[in-house]
Structure 1
Amino acid sequence: MSKLFEAFQSIIPIFILLSFLIIFMTLSINRRTGRKLDTLNKKVHYLIFIGLMLSIIGTLLLTLLPSSNPEKVTQLVPFYSILDTFEYAADYAIINSIGMNILLFVPFGFFLFLIIRQEIITVFFAFLFSAAIEFLQYALPIGRISNVDDVILNTLGGIIGMLAGVIVLKFGIVYNRVRKGK
């Protein structure tokens, strides 16, 4: 856990500041447009929207901040780095490389699915968002490695998040509570 905190230590203050800014801006817009969060349904939808926005911001912060890699590296062979990691890396490196790429997109897939409730479109947007990040990592001079395996793993994370959203809706964890709030 301490290694995880060290890895994210630089972005935590930025994320917290942006979180407060997003919440303040959305509440201000709601107030100015006359939209009130006066029912449970509206409150749940607002929280789901905030969750999606914060997952996008967190993902962009984690993936697009400059790194110390001096050269531009691109890996376009599918599953090459995944298999290489399993074969040669230590356990913590497997968790860091593969697990974190999957985990990074779980909230995005979860919140997006709860908003649009379309499985195929959720998976498509998870793929598109991940591909856009990898393209930006390649195009921008930020010292990041652009890797097709990251797109595969991120999309898998989006699928896992979407499946969690399906379960939440199926068992009525959120949906029944929203229905009662109407």
Structure 2
Amino acid sequence: MDNPKLQKLPVINFGQENLQYGTKSWSLARNEVRHALEECGCFLAVYDAVSFNLRDSVFSALEKLFDLPVETKKKNTSDRLFFGYLSDHRDSAIRESVEIENATDIEEVKKFSKLKWPQGNDDNFSGIIHEYANLIAKLEQVVTRMVFESYGVEKLKCDSHIDSITYLLLLNSYEAPGVDDEYLLT
């Protein structure tokens, strides 16, 4: 039986027509974004700009990244808490994360790639991750613009806010526990 207190996660389509600023489609999507954020705090974005081919390339690149030895992954360090390489303290195969700061800057992604594959990476990890990060950043900027506009905030303030953003791409790997496995989360 359906619980009336449980809401369905809103799904918003960010197809090409909804990304055209000033159109009726833009206005409808903008209103959906505001409503979803006010009511649920989040939504599921359908975003065709990330093609199936790119998505598959990203997953393939991430498999190669997370297959690297733990010592190599640990080279990604940061002075900031929870940045760099993180893993479940008991078994790194269960849960790991790696972040790339300023992933919309190709030079930063290349620097990260060089740290992981000093001998070079022929699979174009940098290009794939950079392309993906920029597409996701574009979506974030569209959503930000829609939120600012829906509340009547000046375009200049929105542009200034967007210009001040730097992007952190957080890459995660989770191992699904088996039926008989017991894990205590700490």
TM-score w.r.t. length of structure 2: 0.27
Structure whose CA Rg is larger: 2
Q: Which has the higher contact order (CA 8 A, sep 6+)?
A: 1
Looking at secondary structure, tell me which structure has more strand per residue. Answer: 2
